[in-house]
Amino acid sequence: MDLAYKRKFINENPCDLVIKPRSKKSAKKIESLTVDEHKKLSSYLMSVSLEKEPLKNVFLIQMYMGLRISEVLSLKKNDFDLNNNVLHINKTMTTDKYGYTIIGEKTKTEAGIRDLPIPDFLIPYIKEQLSNYNNNNYNLLFYKNHPLNHSGANAIFKRICNNLNIFKPNLSTHILRHTYGTRCIEAGMPPVVLQRLMGHTNIKVTLNTYTSVLNKFKEEEIDKVSQYYAKNNLIMKEENQQETLLLNNKDKNLKFSDIER
């Protein structure tokens, strides 16, 4: 209706005064790998051969760059700028109503179009993948006789995790994207920066998605504020505080004594 009004199809939007109902959908708990699980999976993927695990670099890119599986599977050779260590994200992979895989011409949202710096430690794995490129009509980097799909990638990922004794409810490759986001917050990255890297439409999405992770670190951040107060003499030192309290208590005792008299 807003769009119809802006394009002058209607003279006014009759929905302007309608109060939108609150969603009754319960908040979805975000699962990510623990640090130990992250180490275990990373160690395996970085040491196994491409012949044994053809999708190992798909999972490494997700885990260390925070891409959606649909964004990784739609990557082409020219999306990688290794001269500047930048990855261009500008499309996604979807399925049509018949279940056939199609390469979209744009990302899930407008914010999904982004350039991401490639971590130095990932460069050898990306070069490995580029050197094993199979020529195909789609120019897809990850291709095996046909474009790969989400369900196939999820099945392989679950098999790897089961073999490594990593068990999570509703396990899928999306946990790798959330693991990236979680590690970024743990490292102290501001949510507004993470929003850009993840391709979220606005900061609310990032804050709502990682509320539980952010809550874990709020005490640490409060400690930082307390340290700042102490460093700049904005609070009384502990020993002085105790002296003041003792003096105040003495004053109170004197006043009570006067009242009793």
For residues 86 and 196, state if they share a domain. Answer: yes
Domain presence at residue 25? no
Please give the structure tokens belonging to residue 259: 């009242």
DSSP state of 140: B
Please give the structure tokens belonging to residue 230: 């102490």
How many domains, the chain? 2
Which has more confidence, 226 or 35?
35
The reported pLDDT for the residue numbered 127 is 96
For 64-122, what is each residue's pLDDT tens digit? 999 999 999 999 999 999 999 999 999 887 766 666 677 766 666 677 789 999 999 99
- State if pTM tops 0.95: no
Confidence of residue 259 (pLDDT cuts 50, 70, 90): very low
Which has more confidence, 66 or 250?
66
Residue 237 has pLDDT above 90, yes or no: no
Q: Which residues contact 81 (CB under 8 A, 6 or more apart)?
A: 87, 88
What does the pLDDT average to over 164-187?
93
CATH of the domain at 204: 1.10.443.10
Q: In one letter, which amino acid is 187? A: A
Q: How far apart are CA 69 and CA 92, in angstroms?
A: 9
Burial class (CB in 10 A: 0-12, 13-18, 19+), 91: buried
Residue 179 has pLDDT above 80, yes or no: yes
For residues 151 and 230, state if they share a domain. Answer: no
Question: Is the distance from CB of 166 to CB of 63 less than 8 angstroms?
Answer: no
Domain boundary among 216, 234, 251: 216
User: Poorest-confidence range of 159-163, 179-183, 207-211, 213-217?
Assistant: 213-217
